[in-house]
Homo-oligomer: A and B are copies of this chain.
Amino acid sequence: MAQDTFSKEETLAMRRRLIGHSCRLFYSDDPVKIIRARGQYLYDEHGKRYLDCISNVQHVGHCHPSITEVAAAQMDLLNINTRFLHDNMVQYADRLAASLPDKLCIFYFVNSGSEANDLALRLAQQYTQHQDVIVLDHAYHGHLMSLIDISPYKFRKLSGQKEWVHVAPLPDTYRGLYREDHPNPGDAYADTVKDLIDEVHSKGRKISAFFAESLPSVGGQIIMPQGYSTKVAEYVHSAGGVFVADEVQTGFGRVGTHFWAFQLQGEGFCPDIVTMGKPMGNGHPLACVATTVEIAGAFTANGVEYFNTFGGNPVSCAIGLAVLDVIEKEDLRRNATKVGAHLKQLLTQLQTRHDIIGHVRGIGLFVGLELVTDRRTRAPATKTAAEVVKRLKEQDRICVSTDGPWENVVKFKPPMCFSIQDADLVVRCIDRIITEMATSDLRLEKEDV
């Protein structure tokens, strides 16, 4: 196993020679080589430490020793496909079921959020016998062909919009159609979905699914307005479709107060299908689809086996169980609630001093800082956001990145062990950088206008 066999320049040269260039690097002008990590910290080949504010995959912290221990023990004992009986998969499904509303009680284990979303789409179409899908604007649901079709973020740059895909407005109360001054943005945005359904029906087409992240991530770290999902689910059910909640980025307690982000919409709301992925295996390729007895039954009724070679194997499920154990034992949801609230508070304070901060939003350790060149027009400060990301890396060795249609939302989705001190540090550094930029010649935000 290589640890640091090559110099960074050699690694980069080999990468350019051997790996498809569509696979991009962070900080492409001067990428970072990481050889070790622990908790919320990354270490480069010189032992220099980086604070990691973006690895939501390494959910309970990088290289958590108890996950490694469980994985190694199970790898030594057995790894086999699920055509044989094994306790780990059923025990893991049972644990996941306990975290979900009762009706979400049937599980399919797969290897990635993309595989989960592809299967969710199959389940929805098989159950409803309808084809059409409603997605949110700017959504991203994965890299597979079927998911590019339902991801405006991708299909606009690639194959274009299919006739069976319909794009609803992003329920973004800062930048969207209905904003913070609207008396009931949840209902208003839900009505845009209703209108879209009517339009679809008028073409003689039928809805299989409304497919959305519980908190749209690539869309710009969006917090759905209250009431939205319940109303949308009503409209979608009336049309004979199902509600798919993509929890690939947001599940497993990231929002702190709840285990699943869809639960923020209240007890009255329950999706028909939930997909999960990234944080599930703390870096191990593990993902899942949860659904109802009825939907699973319709899928079984087609008489065709669903076999996923690696999905649900004893090692993956042992790791999944160990991740759940760590979330509980280390009370990481409480930490996410506490540190996330602190981070949001500090950023909100910063907003009072820096006009460029248009909006601070978030819940738990899912936080966005939206930069604008003009608070009135809310024109995105894309270049400033990129410069903040760059300077945080170069000056402070802090990794953040941007999201949103204009890449002007600095996002925070760190490992769940992120601390109060980490939050203090990153906000202090952002404060300094924005101050520097405001007083220097580098008033990049002007160029954004």
A18 partner, pick from B37, B71, B97, B308, beta carbons under 8 A:
B97
- Name the contact of A300 in the complex, choosing from B14, B21, B74, B78 (C-beta under 8 A): B21
Q: Please report the C-alpha to C-alpha distance between residue A70 and residue B88 in the assembled complex, in whole angstroms.
A: 23
Return the contact of A83 from the options B25, B89, B305 (Cβ within 8 A).
B25
B80 touches A296 (CB 8 A): no
> C-beta contact mask, A350-362 vs B, less than 8 Å → 1, else 0?
0000000000000
User: With A94-B18, A107-B20, A283-B315 given, is the CB distance from A145 to B157 under 8 Å?
Assistant: no
Q: Return the chain B residue nearest A18 by Cβ.
A: B93
Closest to A112 in B: B111
State whether B111 touches A310 (Cβ < 8 A): yes
| Bound complex: CA A299 to CA B302 (Å) | 36
Is A22 an interface residue when CB atoms closer than 8 A count as contact? Answer: yes
Q: Which of A295-344 contact B (CB under 8 A)?
A: 296-297, 299-300, 302-310, 312-313, 315-316, 318, 321-322
17 A-B pairs, CB-CB below 8 angstroms? A2-B88, A18-B97, A19-B106, A23-B308, A24-B305, A26-B83, A26-B84, A33-B84, A36-B77, A37-B78, A58-B80, A111-B112, A114-B115, A122-B145, A143-B306, A145-B145, A284-B310
A residues with CB within 8 A of B:
1-6, 8, 11-12, 14-15, 17-26, 31-37, 42, 55, 57-58, 62-63, 65, 67-68, 70-91, 93-94, 97, 105-108, 111-115, 118-119, 121-122, 143-146, 154, 157-158, 277-278, 282-286, 291, 296-297, 299-300, 302-310, 312-313, 315-316, 318, 321-322
